[in-house]
Amino acid sequence: MTAKIIDGKLTAAEMRVELRQEVAKLKDEGIVPGLGVILVGDDPASQSYVTAKEKTCEELGIYSDDNRLPADITQKELITRVSKMNADPKINGILVQLPLPKHIDEGQVLLAISPDKDVDGFHPINIGKMVAGQKAFLPCTPHGIIQLLVRHGVTLEGAEVVVVGRSNIVGKPIANMLIQKSKTGNATVTVCHTKTRNLAEHTKRADIIIAAAGKPGTITADMVKNGVVVIDVGVNRIDDPTKKSGFRLVGDVDFEAVKEKAGLITPVPGGVGPMTITMLMYNTVESAKRAAGKI
């Protein structure tokens, strides 16, 4: 058996067509979704990510308010900028790109974002609503994982899911989302991590494995059963002298070996990654609809 590849780029592209059509309909009604983006400093990775978000906004017809601020901005000045976006009716979603400079308390800045505009889904109020099963903005990467599973016909209800990783960005929220009483939940979830004993005992019984540990080779072929669905969230750089850059990107899963046993598997890159920005745009459109009383 060789696994079917879950193409995140293709799924993201399909969702963006749907979003572009929805944005066009909203514009016909005088509603223009808007995303406010704040980037502090000149970190190359953050700059690249923010630029990609701005291009996606343009592609979908979403208004983008781009704020690139100096690295020595004070925390008070940054929170003031966030507060202005909170009050701006043209802005439906606010994204503060992380990481922030060390002299700024990230938690306080994220807390300053209005929960109604928290399209990243990291505000404690939205996290609390998510855990309680209430309507909330869902964190983008976990929400993207759910979309990949559902759109590839994976049955979640009753499935044995093993999540490897317990970060606030992926591990904890995806586990919470999958146990909810909902069309995209009702799974039985085990959360594993670096202190888990005998990790393979858990992964071998899984129908679905979500690897988000941030360590290459965490999941190997002898740790999975035939036909398993594998979602690899890891993005790790390893040395590769054959590449011009001197490195290549790999996930947390031994892709070449595991794909010979899995039923479905995501590659790295090209799997989960493309979904994250798409779900950010999805949340922004949802926020615009809420503000207009459409939902």
H helix runs in the chain, sequence order: 8-28, 44-60, 75-87, 106-112, 124-132, 140-151, 171-179, 199-203, 255-258, 273-291
Separation of alpha carbons 61 and 214, rounded Å: 34
Structure token digits, residue 104: 């700024």
Query: What's the distance, CA 223 to chain centroid?
Result: 25
HSE value, Cβ hemisphere, 13 Å, CA-based, for 88:
20
- DSSP for 184-222 reads T---EEEEE-TT-SSHHHHHTT-SEEEE-SS-TTSB-GG
Separation of alpha carbons 279 and 37, rounded Å: 15
Q: Which of 21, 90, 108, 120 is catalytic?
A: 120
Is 120 a catalytic site residue? yes
Locate tokens 């009702």: which residue?
186
For the CA atoms of 130, 134, 136, 139, the dihedral, rounded to the nearest 10 degrees, stands at 20
Edge-to-edge strand order for the sheet containing 208-211?
4-5, 264-265, 229-232, 208-211, 160-164, 188-192
Name the residue among 278, 48, 39 with its Cα closest to residue 140: 278
- Whether the bond into 269 is cis, omega within 30 of 0: yes
Separation of alpha carbons 247 and 140, rounded Å: 27
Q: Which of 53, 172, 259, 261 is catalytic?
A: 53
Q: Which of 7, 47, 76, 97 is catalytic?
A: 97
Separation of alpha carbons 149 and 143, rounded Å: 10
Q: Which are the catalytic amino acids?
A: 53, 97, 120
